[in-house]
Structure 1
Amino acid sequence: MTTRIGFLACKDTLPGDGERRGDAFEHDLEVKALRPAFADAGLELVELDWRSPLDQFAGMAMVLLGTAWDYQDHPREFIAKLAALQEHGITVQNSPDIVRWNSDKSYLKDLEQRGATTVPTLWLEDADRQAVTGAMDHFGTDRVVVKRQVGAGGIGQYSFTRASLPEADWSMGRPCMIQPFLPSIVEEGEYTFVFIDGEYSHGVQKRAAQDEYRIQSLYGGYECDYAPPPGDLECARTIERALPFADALYCRIDMARLATGELAVMEAEMIEPYLYPQQGSQLGMRLAEAICKRLG
């Protein structure tokens, strides 16, 4: 008898007849990596839209927050659904409490207070042209990046320079964060460290396409194998240990290098991160083992 494990997605990432997101192939790669390893462990991986009625989750022991990549536009609805699943006796990984904390990037302030090295950031309820130029003055730089506080995948993100400022009537229109642009993102890329059940699994070096700074595949970004040197891996472990939750099934630590040479945390992704199975050949087995351990 197999144990059913849900893999939450959204209509834009699930296979079907409709048009899919440009990065939906990552959903396919992850499912392809997980399904056989899960089957070997007596687990059946079931893909479904997170908006599916509760009765479609009947008989599932656990749900994983796989590629629910539209949650950032509906965070309250998403968290409410996870709480409802939990109330019906289904284990949610990662838990609604983790999702609440991790869904707003202001969690980076918590990590900084716990000793983590972060990118200098201005936190604003909104941003306009004046805020952008003010941030450039504040950071002593000619280029900044403006991000949503609740966002994912680089969507709704902007990069401005003093030579290419936003229009006079532009505004972000939502709570946001402004950071100095890090040249290392283009020069060497961003580094990802994947942890399963608190243990390091594998590393990834993510590079941006020509004339682009965003490293996501939606913008032409690509990944390379990465065997982190001990110092870089210890930086990632420091971030993982600083997390206020000890029960995360999976966590992806994204880091970039500051001008000082030190790695700084960009994200600690514990909601629905892509876990880069092509760079982690043991990902499926490690995740299946961790799930079986949790389910007893």
Structure 2
Amino acid sequence: MTNHQPTRGEPRVALVTCSRLVDLDPDDRLVIAPLAARQIAAEVVVWDDPDVDWASYNLVVLRSPWDYALRRDEFVAWAASVAALVNPADVVRWNTDKRYLAELSAAGVPTVPTSWVEPRETWQPPADSGEYVIKPAVSAGSQDTGRYDLADPEHRDLAAAHVRRLSEAGRVTMIQPYLTAVDTEGETALLFLAGPDGLAFSHAIRKGPMLTGPDLGPDDLYKAEEITARTARPEQLAVAERTLATVPGGTRQLLYARVDLIPGPDGDPVLVELELTEPSLFLGYAEGAPDRLADAITTHLTRS
């Protein structure tokens, strides 16, 4: 899976993926040529490959290890064993469990209201008839995620079964009101990449609505997405900056960050997720984005 044979003295960077994406997601491959142009040898490596010598890399960059959701403890332990990992292991531990949203909400970040159901805790759908999203607190790529209209008796039964299925598997469930603005406005993802002075805004994209109904069983590794370029608005950038200001340990340690926002009931942007572990960066949707990521990697190599 080596993409570029290093010459003597070239920094070696591992681009970390999973065994189901051994050639990386196509969007992630866009950074390989810009890295080569900077005399940086990029190699695609599977995170749980026991034969990899992680200490041989100058930097280990998390990209698409999207099979970790059912093996989070193993993944977090692996991250802690890789000294040159970005984003670093402490961030991975914090960010791979979406209960961080409760911390951000308590810190004053406008977030989508979320309730939590612990494993083996009983849960009944709320009495109101709104739409809700149910998903596990540890997930990637919208796996095990469903949308339920609680005015529909069948949906109420399916929602209860979804929570029960996650609970019986020992997983924490998160329950959120469905933000209907996503059906028209979509979701805005704001991408930030490391620069000399810390994270800097790079670009934004729009995701179309993805959830069409209940979760009825095993998903693919990630759901298909409708992506277009978008210009970030000042109020979105303001919420993103407030969100990033709450990251434990600060943002200078980060190579990248993605802030996902949807308009709330009053039209103001609210945080849906802060992606610091393995976010798609949508490099192909903004001119110069692959070069900006290569520059960010160069910045971290210089620091290390």
TM-score relative to the length of structure 1: 0.85
Which sections of structure 2, spanning at least 5 residues, go unmatched?
Answer: 1-8
Deviation at 1:241, TM superposition (A): 2.0
Deviation at 1:209, TM superposition (A): 5.9
* Residues 240-278 of structure 1: per-residue CA shift (max 9 Å, x gap): 222223211110101111011111111100001110011
| Aligned-partner SS, 2:12 | strand
Alignment of 1:168-207 (within 5 A): 170=161, 171=164, 172-173=166-167, 174-197=171-194, 198-207=199-208
Question: Structure 1 CA distance, aligned partners of 2:159 and 2:284?
Answer: 44
- Contact 1:9 1:49 survives alignment (8 Å): yes
- Contact 2:258 2:279 survives alignment (8 Å): yes
Q: Cα RMSD between the aligned structures?
A: 2.4
* Residues 171-199 of structure 1: per-residue CA shift (max 9 Å, x gap): 13221111111111212211100001210
Return the match for 1:156 from 144, 157, 162.
Answer: 144
Deviation at 1:55, TM superposition (A): 4.2
Equivalent position of 1:98 in the other structure: 91
- Contact 1:212 1:219 survives alignment (8 Å): no
- Contact 2:13 2:57 survives alignment (8 Å): yes
| Aligned-partner SS, 1:272 | coil
The answer to whether 1:131 aligns with 2:132 is no
Equivalent position of 1:269 in the other structure: 275
| Aligned-partner SS, 2:41 | strand
- Contact 1:7 1:64 survives alignment (8 Å): yes
Distance 1:209 1:58, change over 3 A: closer
| Aligned-partner SS, 2:82 | helix
Question: Structure 1 CA distance, aligned partners of 2:77 and 2:270?
Answer: 32
Which sections of structure 1, spanning at least 5 residues, go unmatched?
Answer: 16-23
- Contact 1:54 1:85 survives alignment (8 Å): no
Deviation at 1:79, TM superposition (A): 1.5
Higher mean C-alpha deviation, range 237-246 or range 173-182? 237-246
Equivalent position of 1:64 in the other structure: 61
- Contact 1:127 1:176 survives alignment (8 Å): no
Return the match for 2:40 from 33, 43, 46.
Answer: 43
Deviation at 1:45, TM superposition (A): 1.1
- Contact 2:148 2:213 survives alignment (8 Å): no
| Aligned-partner SS, 1:225 | strand
Equivalent position of 2:288 in the other structure: 282
Return the match for 1:118 from 108, 111, 114.
Answer: 111
Return the match for 2:156 from 153, 165, 176.
Answer: 165
Alignment of 1:228-239 (within 5 A): 228-239=232-243
Deviation at 1:159, TM superposition (A): 1.7
Return the match for 1:254 from 238, 250, 260.
Answer: 260
